[in-house]
C-alpha cells in the first residue's frame, strides 16, 4: 500500500505569515500523513491541521509555548508500513549532523529509526548517514531564510520503503 506524506516545519504562524498558502493546504488534503517538525508558534495551526489532515504527527520546537510542548512533546516516533520514523525539531549544526543523528537514531542506537524528519534551520536537507539513516528537513513554507523561496517536502512510502522525496517551492 502506498502512503503519501507531507513534511512541514517552521511555519511560524502568524509571525512570518498570516496563514499557510493554499498550495500547502491542498497538499495537506492530498496527504495520507502530515508530519510537522516544530515551530508552529500558535496552537491554532495545530488545531486546524488536526481537523483537516487524515493523520498528523508533530513535535514542538524552540519557538513553541507551553501548550504546544504539552500537546506534542519534543520527539515523535511512528511507523508507516514497517518503516520507522522519528521527528525532532533541532539536530544542531550542519557540521557533524550525520554522526550525531546516527548516534541518536541510527541502527546501533537504543531506538533506531530509518528516517529522521527535522526542522529549525529553515534550510532544506536530504542526506543519508553512514549508518543508513535518511535525514529530511523540509525547510519552511513561510520563512525562506536565505533560500530563494519557501519549501515543503512530499514523500511516498511503498512496500515498507521510502520512495520519491520531492522538495516543493511554496512562493507567497
pLDDT band at 15 (very low <50, low <70, confident <90, very high): confident
pLDDT band at 171 (very low <50, low <70, confident <90, very high): confident
3-state secondary structure the chain: CEEEEEEECCCCCCCCCCCCCHHHHHHHHHCCEEEECCCCCCHHHHHHHHHHCCCEEECCCCCCCHHHHHHHCCEEEEEECCEEEEEECCCCCCCCHHHHHHHHHCCCCCCCCCEEECCCCCCCEEEECCCCCEEEECCCCCCCCCCCCCEEEEEEEECCEEEEEEEEECCC
Average pLDDT over residues 117-135: 97
Q: Which domains does the chain have, with CATH numbers?
A: 2-169 (3.60.21.10)
pLDDT at 7 over 90: yes
pLDDT, position 4: 98
Q: What percent of the chain has pLDDT over 90?
A: 92
pLDDT, position 163: 96
Amino acid at each position: 500500500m502506498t502512503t503519501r506524506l507531507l513534511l512541514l516545519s517552521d511555519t511560524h504562524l502568524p509571525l512570518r505569515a498570516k496563514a499557510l498558502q493554499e498550495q500547502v493546504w491542498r497538499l495537506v488534503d492530498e496527504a495520507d500523513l502530515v508530519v510537522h517538525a516544530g515551530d508552529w508558534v500558535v496552537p491554532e495551526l495545530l488545531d486546524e491541521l488536526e481537523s483537516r489532515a487524515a493523520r498528523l504527527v508533530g513535535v514542538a520546537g524552540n519557538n513553541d509555548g507551553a501548550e504546544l510542548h504539552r500537546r506534542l512533546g519534543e520527539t515523535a516516533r511512528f511507523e508507516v508500513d514497517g518503516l520507522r520514523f522519528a521527528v525532532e525539531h533541532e539536530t544542531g549544526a550542519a557540521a557533524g549532523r550525520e554522526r550525531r543523528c546516527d548516534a541518536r537514531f541510527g541502527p546501533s542506537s537504543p531506538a533506531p529509526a530509518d528516517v529522521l524528519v527535522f526542522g529549525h534551520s529553515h534550510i532544506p536537507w536530504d542526506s543519508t548517514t553512514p549508518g543508513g539513516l535518511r535525514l529530511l528537513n523540509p525547510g519552511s513554507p513561510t520563512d525562506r531564510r536565505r533560500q530563494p523561496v519557501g519549501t515543503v517536502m512530499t514523500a511516498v512510502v511503498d512496500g515498507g520503503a521510502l520512495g520519491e522525496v520531492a522538495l516543493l517551492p511554496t512562493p507567497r
